[in-house]
Amino acid sequence: MLNKVTSYFLEGESNYNVNLKDENPSSFLLQDNSNVTLDLELSSKENKIYFNLGKDSNLNLRIIVKHEIENVELHANVSRGTNFNIYVVDLFNNSITFKSIVDLDQENASSSFHLGVLSKNDEKKNYDISFNHKVGRTFSELDAYGVSKDLSMIKINGTSHIFKNSVKANANQKAKVIVFDDEAKAIANPILKIDCNDVIAKHACAIGSLKDEYVYYLLSRGISLKEARNLITLGYLLPISKHFSKEDEEKIIGLIEGEF
């Protein structure tokens, strides 16, 4: 590797706030037996981030995607008994390609990816979220909510790969995107690669337009057109905000409400 890797060590019971500027790529090492929340601020166009998670730990990674970001590539290895939760809110940046690959390397490793994404104008937002169940008794979850407006597009590829002999692996995918305007577009591809019996793999994806039928139902109860559109849309984006700090949560809600 030509670039120097900047490394961060995460340990204990703590909250970290890290602003990545030119430290690219960067890597985070989570010690065994720790419980950490990491608020990660990304500032450069291209971002390569590695995570190495020790045993019997928990890491909550929270990212609010900002304007200038074009590419994010996240790789993680999760050890035995460790849980890695990723929360991404993507509301006000431009087009983006976000790739996340989480390897569940040892038993009882688990990971979840929660996404709230809004696209507007002619933005294209690509999310490629993969979980590799390398051994049995590993657990993964994708929970993605999106709203695409104007001429924009949201594409969510969720890949769950359950390797040979990974018995009792459990992979869950859920993607719900609402298409707000006539010309907006949304694609959700759940990809399940399963090389083992005795596993649980579920996926549900729903792509809906802001259907006249929905709006009419709300209007018929006295709710105004503007409020009806808001209610339908806010429901998709708000749930992710509760995973962030109180301060960020308020910021996110404010931003979403300002948008509609």
Partner 1 sequence: MEKLVIKDLCAEVEGNQILKGVNLTINKGETLALLGPNGHGKSTLLAVLMGNPRYKVTSGSIEYDGKDLLSLKVDERSKAGLFLAFQNPAEIPGVVSADFFKGAINAHRDNKIKLFEFYKKLEDTCKEVNLPFDMVNRNLNDGFSGGEKKRNEILQLLLLNPDIAMLDEIDSGLDVDAINIVSKCINAQKESKNTGFLIISHYARLFELVKPDRAAVMINGRIVEEGDASLISKIDNEGYEWIEKELGILIKKEETNKPMNKVSIGVCATKEVIKDVK
Please give the residue ranges that form the binding site for partner 1 (CB under 8 A). Answer: 145, 176, 178-179, 181-190, 203-214, 216-225, 227, 231-233, 235-236
Give least dist CB 233 to partner 1, A: 7
Give least dist CB 236 to partner 1, A: 5
Answer whether 80's CB lies under 8 Å from 103's CB.
no
Which residues, in sequence order, are bridge partners of residue 140? 111, 171
Residue length of the chain: 260
DSSP helix/strand/coil, 137 = coil
Residue matched to tokens 């105004």: 224
Question: Which residue, 62 or 176, has its beta carbon nearer to partner 1?
Answer: 176
φ, ψ dihedrals at 151, nearest 5° = -110, 15
Task: Report the distance separating Cα 221 and Cα 122, nearest Å.
Answer: 34
Question: Which residue, 51 or 131, has its beta carbon nearer to partner 1?
Answer: 131
Give least dist CB 88 to partner 1, A: 18
Give least dist CB 157 to partner 1, A: 10
Question: Which residue, 196 or 218, has its beta carbon nearer to partner 1?
Answer: 218
Question: Which residue, 9 or 217, has its beta carbon nearer to partner 1?
Answer: 217
DSSP helix/strand/coil, 105 = coil
